[in-house]
Structure 1
Amino acid sequence: MTISLHYCHVTVNDVEESLGFYRDALGLEVLNDVAQGEFRWVTVGSPDQPGLGIVLSAPHAGRSQADGDALQELLTKGVLPMIMFSTDDVDALFEKVRASGAEVLQEPTDQPWGPRDCGFRDPSGNMVKISQVS
């Protein structure tokens, strides 16, 4: 028996605006784009990791009003869990993402526990870290 991660969800205020970060700045590809009523779910992913998708959706998409309101409050506070990517060239990716206008939280830094990493906020305020793999 095997198990692997297939999808993870990132809550965003505006899916279209978030595509400017996840697709255009980070270089992920749109794998699926589904609209239902006023909501939209867009799945992005990397060809380097087939089978794993990141689903971008608004707080109220597919949720009750109360749950969507609670999630919106957490998103507004910037306290939702961060998402972490890895790359073989953190400095080059950092420059590409910074050039997109994304908010820089941390320039590339050699961490005492090993990796070189950097950090940004996506347009909705989610923390995104990028770590270099050797």
Structure 2
Amino acid sequence: MKLTSLRIITKDIKQSVEFYEKAIGLTAQWYTEDFAELSAGTITIAIGSTRTLKMFGENMADSTGSTNIIIEFLVSDVDKEYERIKTITEDIAQEPTTMPWGNRSLLFRDPEGNLINFFTPVSMEAIQKFS
């Protein structure tokens, strides 16, 4: 089994796609007006409008954001990214903080309220894990 993508459902797909393009520095590939993807190396971030949920059946989840899932990106300098992210959103959940497991972490939210973590390994163990 191989995890290939993460799909985010949104009420405003144009706003969400634009946000992710700016946040991760990639250009989305639009397939329909309700579906786009950003390929980030080993995983793809798919973004679909709430209208796409109807294709999966009735009573599917709504797009209220998640506080129990965090979308994580390994970045080379989390403090530098923080300065850039502050120009994209004011919804910073946690400024850069060094975590007990050795990553320096920045948490912020996308337009739908989903948590995003940009992190940089800083301890020797964390650096080895991600090298």
TM-score class, shorter? 0.7 to 0.9
Map 1:44-83; keep pairs closer than 5 Å: 44-46=38-40, 49=41, 51-61=42-52, 62-67=55-60, 71-72=61-62, 75-76=63-64, 78-79=66-67, 81-83=69-71
Shift, 1:102, TM fit: 4.2
SS in 2 for 1:76: coil
Shift, 1:28, TM fit: 2.3
Structure 2: 5+ residue stretches without partners: 122-126
Q: Which structure 1 residue ranges, 4+ long, deviate > 6 Å from structure 2?
A: none
CA contact (8 A) 1:102 1:123 kept: no
SS in 1 for 2:112: coil
The Cα offsets for residues 31-78 of structure 1, whole Å up to 9 and x where unpaired, read as x2111xxx61110123xx2x52110112341333421xxx11xx3263
SS in 2 for 1:99: coil
Of 100, 114, 132, 2:88 maps to 100
Of 112, 116, 120, 2:108 maps to 120
CA contact (8 A) 1:10 1:54 kept: yes
* Corresponding residue pairs, total: 120
CA distance in 1, matches of 2:117, 2:21: 16
Deviates more, 1:105-114 or 1:21-30: 21-30
Structure 1: 5+ residue stretches without partners: none
Computed over aligned residues only, the root mean square deviation of the Cα atoms, in angstroms, reads: 2.0
Of 7, 21, 24, 2:22 maps to 24
CA distance in 2, matches of 1:79, 1:120: 11
Q: Percent identity?
A: 25
Deviates more, 1:15-24 or 1:77-86: 77-86
Shift, 1:10, TM fit: 1.7
CA distance in 2, matches of 1:10, 1:102: 20
Q: TM-score, normalised by structure 2?
A: 0.79
CA distance in 2, matches of 1:33, 1:80: 28
